Chains A and B, each alone.
Chain A
Amino acid sequence: MLMPKPNADVLAKRDELVAGLRRIVADADAVIDDKDDLRAFECDGLSAYRQLPMIAVLPSTVSEISDILKFCKAEGVNVVPRGAGTSLSGGALPLADGVLLGLGKFNRILEIDYDNRCVVAQPGVTNLAITDAVKSDGFYYAPDPSSQIACTIGGNVAENSGGVHCLKYGLTTHNVLGIEMVTMDGDIIRLGGKHLDAEGYDLLGVMTGSEGLLGVITEVTVRILRSPEHISAQLIGFPSGEQAGDCVGKIIGAGIIPAGMEMMDRYAIHAAEEFCHAGYPLDVEALLIVELDGPEVEIAYYQTQIDKIAKDCGATVSRISETEEERMTFWAGRKAAFPAVGRISPDYMCMDGTIPRGALPKVLARMNELSKQYGLRVANVFHAGDGNLHPLILFDANNPGELEKCEAFGADILKLCVEVGGVLTGEHGVGIEKRDLMGEMFSEDDLKQQQRLKCAFDPDGRLNPGKVFPVLHRCAELGKMHVHNGELPFPDIPRF
């Protein structure tokens, strides 16, 4: 993975920069320059790539963040923001000549506001902690990425995180009401708040999912929802992936939007069952977990319909959770699918493409061919309701060349997703992992247009450079107009 070449001038003044940062933050220990201590930040959830940052700084106030960014801008130093470091795409991978800005000290919930149905939290609060804070009053925060115990709400906004319930309840972007952020200029700004639809250009909307390239999030206001009255999960097994995919389409076509609809293939089912004994049927090729929530009468009404649809699609197994404990067991297998696969293979790489659901049979078939071609096994878990695939490619990094082979296989899967009308990433982000594949999905002009947005927030390109975009353009170059040179291509008004 090629990263921007470290700037020798910046590296040469490291000691000065450390001293400068120590003058800004009150706590001297908050500036870390010792190599051993920096080790803690060398990678995120994409651990195949590691890089020590030049310096790490852990501020405790928003004004410290503002001063740090102003200082780095003035000194020409790159900055990489980091929450819990759970990104699966390398979004928080440090830069050799960069300052790593850790938000871990911003870990307080600032306000629980039931009148306005929202919670205001600092960015370092974990996703699950928000739900925990309101659970006893019967509320929860809907987006639930599988790393929700560890991942932070600031990181969720930066990555526009999803989870198994976004089919019905949306991604982070649909559940964030407002943020406070600091720009690379050091300006502290508020976007949105406790009201809806921040006016003007939707800066909050583009900040969400901007992968730390536009600003540093320092506070987040999220919508909380009332926990549903009842929740029920159903396991449905099929003799083929095609039949399971067909069933998903027919459930949605019948007007039912389940709270979650997950699919696992044979390989993932067996790995998960071995790992946590969820009671999954082992004689099926594909397993659906369909979760419904709401009043009992509604769940029963939909379950009758789903049973019929499943049977018509050839389901061989169908089981509805009788108790909350059983429901949790159904999920335990799915939620443990990644570590379960991790146990049976020395290494695995998780892909994250989204496809139009109808293309599933074609994509599964092609993936099997690729698996044979590369000689690497693949297990599939799939947010079936919204078409978000998570193929897990199994490999052994100790075998020379196998990581590269795995990456090539992964790239082929993502290209396939784009080819059938889908996208490179549904919820894990581009980061460094899919950076060089962006050209598969966007034209050069469209990528430039996206980078012009970065120029609006961060004209010097100091925030998280080397991520998301395969080619770094200078903003002055992007600003140029090539269309006209003072000559009139159409001297007269076009007549239609």
Chain B
Amino acid sequence: MQINKITEEQQIADMLDWALAGRHGLAIRGGGTKEGIGRPVTAEQGLDLSGLTGVEMYEPAELVMKAKAGTTISDVNALLRQSGQRLAFDPPDYGPLLGHAAEAATLGGIFSANLSGSARIKAGSARDHLLGVQGFTGRAQAFQTGSRVMKNVTGYDLCKLVAGSYGTLAIATSLTFKVLPRPEKTRTVLLYDVPLEMAQPLMTRGLSSVHDVAAAAYLPADIAAQCDIDYVKGPGKAVLALKIEGPGPSAEFRCAAIREMLQGEGALEELHGMNSETFWAFVKNVSPFVGTTGTIWKVSIPPANAAKVIADILGKAPEARYFLDWGGGLLWIAMPDGLEEGGDGVVRGALSGAGHATLIRGSSDLRQKIAPFQPQPEAIRKITARIKDGFDPENILNPGRMYEHEDVKASI
């Protein structure tokens, strides 16, 4: 595949015209850190948007920024930090997990994959923060949706579709998104040696309390042992973590209140500032599974199902490793090498129809063979195929990456 480095938008328009005329597929990429997610894309030509960079508008008092799709998340974070702000959905960096460099992920990539970190549970997802998109559809037409304001119900919210479509509907060239103040203080309360069955109920207790818990994760002992922070790996026990953030006096007050609430549940500890940040980066970037072999699954479930789903998976694949984020609603599973179909049947079979599982890391052979994204019921499949057809009727944008192409023209 020839990769074409895009530096201006007209080149995308030209490329799309060419692709449409000859019905050629195009592979769309930003930093390339996530190209291992989804089915391998077969295309003669690739568009690399990582050169399309730059912040076009940033108004801190309006809580809004607009930037080109190739701008890296780390550049955006650095700029926001200067004004005491941040991306509240806490974008993760899967680069190292997927065998790439850290800090290469771009805005276009993060929003196209709708990736959010541990704060998702309270702050919302990447797509919740996306206000506007400019780019091109697979019709080679310039395309614009949304706006720059927080509150907008004018027409269909197509930003929601673009976010999470992995470049299969449109090529986003500019994104406008909401930014929020960075809290003065972050603290994390650690509770040790919690058995799995108690993990979700305790996290839910925290999240349902008046203490405004910002994130909740659970690391079994083997996972906690991999963390670089002494308080986490030292005791050799499972660790349950609740994140508190806010202005200084409030964070301190709520941290004390959470500790009080958890009295009698086990030994407690507290992470401050830097340690707290390091811990949550370890969780959101799936650091425990960096450098391992085998497949990795990201599983979204009703939190109360967590213990049952894990027990079911471990019953069939005892060597599988796991940890929980999003208060139990996000389950990360690392399957050992050599499991049939990368553990597809084991993982998806454990869901009992509630939730979905995405293959985040697997060989390209495996990604060709099984569905990396959760298979859909017939009626939803039909709508999905028609949406794709509406945006990209010739199937030129990242063909096949999410779902196999279906010709639906007769049904519309």
Whether A115 contacts B149 by the Cβ 8 Å rule is no
Contact A430 B155 (CB under 8 A): yes
Which of A162, A201, A386, A487 is in CB contact (< 8 Å) with B164?
A201
A194 closest partner in B (C-beta):
B302
Q: Does A6 sit within 8 A of B, measured CB to CB? A: no
Q: Which of A257, A423, A489 contacts B152 (CB 8 A)?
A: A423
Separation of A357 and B393 alpha carbons in the complex (Å): 39
Residues B154 and A423 in contact, CB atoms below 8 Å apart = yes
A contact residues around B394 at 8 Å (CB): 481
> Main SS of the interface on chain B?
mixed
Q: What is the 8 Å Cβ interface bit string for chain B, positions 41-53, against chain A (1 contact, 0 not)?
A: 0000100000000
Contact of A201 among B150, B165, B200 (CB under 8 A): B165
Q: Does A200 contact B (CB under 8 A)?
A: yes
Expressed in whole angstroms, the Cα–Cα distance for A447 and B121 within the complex equals 33
B386 at the interface (CB under 8 A from A): yes
Segment touching B, from A67-75, A292-300, A368-376: A292-300
> How many B residues are at the interface, by size bracket?
35 or more
- Chain A residues within 8 Å of B6, by CB: 496
Q: Are A453 and B379 in contact (CB under 8 A)?
A: no
A387-B208 contact in complex given A493-B18, A496-B7, C-beta closer than 8 Å: no
- Contact residue among A210, A388, A427, A488 (Cβ-Cβ distance under 8 Å from B18): A488
CA distance A183 to B384 in the complex (A): 13
**What separation, in Å, do the CA atoms of A445 and B45 have in the docked complex?**
27
**A252 CB-CB contact with B under 8 Å:** yes
B17 surroundings in chain A (CB, below 8 A): 483-484, 489-490
A209 and B302 within 8 A (CB): no
Contacts A257-B181, A302-B247: A386 and B212 contacting too (C-beta < 8 A)?
no
Report whether B379 and A202 are in contact in the complex, using a CB–CB cutoff of 8 Å: no
* Shortest CB distance A316–B (Å): 23
> Which of A29-37, A56-64, A167-175, A278-286 is the interface stretch?
A167-175
- For residue B274, CB closer than 8 A to chain A, the reply is no
Interface residues of B in 225-265 (CB under 8 A from A): 246-250, 253-254, 257
Binds B, one of A18-26, A233-241, A394-402, A435-443: A435-443
Q: Check if A483 sits within 8 Å of B148, measured CB to CB.
A: no
**Minimum CB distance partner of B379 in chain A:** A187
Assess whether B160 is in contact with A493, with CB atoms less than 8 Å apart: no
Give min CB distance, A69 to chain B, whole Å: 13
- Residues on A with C-beta less than 8 A from B114 are 197, 202
Complex interface: stretch among A9-17, A41-49, A454-462: A454-462
Contact between A253 and B164, CB atoms less than 8 A apart: no
The A412-455 residues at the B interface (CB cut-off 8 A) are 421-430, 434, 438, 441-443, 445-447, 449-450, 452-455
Interface stretch of the complex, out of B28-36, B91-99, B139-147, B332-340: B139-147
Q: Which of chain A's residues 158-205 have a Cβ closer than 8 Å to chain B?
A: 159-160, 162, 166-167, 170-171, 173-174, 183, 185, 187-189, 191, 193-203, 205
Q: In the complex, which residues of chain A have a beta carbon less than 8 angstroms from the beta carbon of B387?
A: 201, 453, 456
Query: Which residues of chain B are within 8 angstroms of A202 by Cβ–Cβ distance?
Result: 114, 127, 160-161, 163-164
Chain A hits for B60, CB < 8 A: 253
Could you say which of A123-131, A221-229, A322-330 contacts chain B?
A221-229
Please state if B20 and A484 are interface contacts (CB–CB under 8 Å): yes
Does B383 interact with chain A (Cβ within 8 Å)? yes
Asked if residues B380 and A496 are in contact (CB atoms below 8 Å), the reply is no
- How many angstroms between the C-alpha atoms of A187 and B380 in the bound complex? 9
B287 to nearest A CB, angstroms? 21
Known A-B contacts A255-B182, A423-B149; the reply to A226 vs B45 at CB < 8 A is no
**Pair B379/A183 contact, Cβ less than 8 Å:** yes
Task: Report A-chain residues with C-beta under 8 Å of the C-beta of B125.
Answer: 196-197
Tell me the residues in window 114-165 of chain B with beta carbons closer than 8 Å to chain A beta carbons: 114, 116, 120-121, 124-125, 127-128, 137, 139-145, 147-158, 160-161, 163-165
**Does B376 lie within 8 Å of A357, measured CB to CB?**
no
Contact with A along B172-210 (1 / 0, CB 8 A): 000000001111100000000000000011001001111
Give Cα A476–Cα B391 distance, bound, in whole angstroms: 14
Task: Assess the B158–A449 pair: CB atoms within 8 A.
Answer: yes
Quick check: A197 and B300 within 8 Å, CB to CB?
Answer: yes
**Measured CA separation A100–B7 after assembly (Å):** 52
* Cβ-defined contact, A250 with B379, below 8 A: no
Q: Return the CB mask of A364-382 against B: 1 if under 8 Å, else 0.
A: 0000000000000000000
B282 within 8 A of A: no
Smallest Cβ-Cβ distance to A183: which chain B residue: B379
Minimum CB–CB distance for A378 against chain B, Å = 20
User: A358 within 8 Å of B by Cβ?
Assistant: yes
Q: Are the CB atoms of B302 and A426 closer together than 8 Å?
A: no
B183 contacts across to A, CB distance below 8 A:
255
CA distance A109 to B41 in the complex (A): 45
Q: Which residues of A contact B82 (CB under 8 A)?
A: none
Q: Is the CB of A356 within 8 A of B212?
A: no
Residues on A with C-beta less than 8 A from B382 are 187
With known contacts A115-B201, A203-B380, A205-B127, A481–B61 Cβ distance under 8 A: no
Whether the Cβ atoms of B128 and A430 lie closer than 8 Å is: no
Q: Which residues of B contact A228 (CB under 8 A)?
A: 210
> A195-B301, A488-B21 given as contacts; is B152 within 8 A of A455 (CB)?
no
List of A residues within 8 angstroms of B212 by Cβ: 294
- Would you call A494 and B61 a contact (CB within 8 A)? no
A341 at the A/B interface (Cβ < 8 Å)? no
Would A483 and B139 be within 8 Å (CB), given that A117-B204, A196-B125 are in contact?
yes
Inter-chain contact A489/B21, CB cutoff 8 Å: yes
Residues of A within 8 A of B154 (CB): 423-425, 430, 434, 438, 441
The answer on a CB contact under 8 Å between A209 and B157 is: yes
Cα separation A446 to B180 with both chains bound (whole Å) = 29
Q: Give the docked Cα–Cα distance between A369 and B161 (Å).
A: 40
Contact A170 B124 (CB under 8 A): yes
Q: Which of A226, A476, A486 contacts B209 (CB 8 A)?
A: A226
Q: In the complex, how many angstroms separate the beta carbon of A145 from the nearest chain B beta carbon?
A: 12
Q: Which residue of B lies closest to A161 (CB)?
A: B153
Q: Answer whether A496 and B11 are a contact pair too, CB < 8 Å, given A450-B155, A452-B390.
A: yes
In the complex, which of the residues B160, B164, B210 contacts A227, with contact meaning CB atoms closer than 8 Å? B210
Closest to B378 in A: A187
B124 / chain A contacts, CB cutoff of 8 Å: 170, 174
**How many angstroms from the CA of A438 to the CA of B208 in the assembled complex?**
42
Residue of A nearest to B150 (CB): A386
Give the residues from 359 to 412 in chain B that come closer than 8 angstroms, CB to CB, to chain A: 373-374, 376-377, 379-380, 382-384, 386-391, 393-394, 402-403, 409, 411-412
Q: Does B304 contact A (CB under 8 A)?
A: yes
User: Quick check: B153 and A428 within 8 Å, CB to CB?
Assistant: yes
Let me know if B329 and A195 touch, CB within 8 A: yes
Docked pose: A144 CA to B212 CA in angstroms: 20
Chain A 100-118: CB-based contact to B (< 8 A → 1; otherwise 0): 0000000000000111110
User: In whole angstroms, how far apart are the Cα atoms of A449 and B161 in the complex?
Assistant: 12
A60 to chain B, nearest CB (A): 23
A195-B356 in contact given A209-B157, A453-B156, A459-B412 (Cβ < 8 Å): yes
| Pairs of residues from A and B, 10 with the lowest C-beta to C-beta distance, nearest first | A205-B160, A452-B390, A298-B250, A255-B181, A194-B302, A456-B386, A187-B379, A115-B304, A426-B151, A253-B61
CB<8 Å pairs between A and B, sample of 30: A115-B304, A117-B303, A166-B151, A189-B380, A193-B355, A194-B303, A197-B116, A198-B356, A200-B164, A202-B114, A295-B250, A301-B248, A356-B148, A356-B149, A358-B59, A358-B61, A387-B151, A424-B154, A442-B144, A445-B143, A446-B143, A446-B144, A453-B161, A456-B412, A459-B412, A483-B140, A486-B21, A493-B2, A493-B45, A496-B7
Instruction: Apart from A189-B380, A209-B157, A252-B62, list 10 A-B contacts with CB within 8 A.
Output: A195-B302, A198-B356, A200-B384, A200-B402, A298-B253, A387-B151, A447-B155, A452-B390, A455-B412, A496-B4
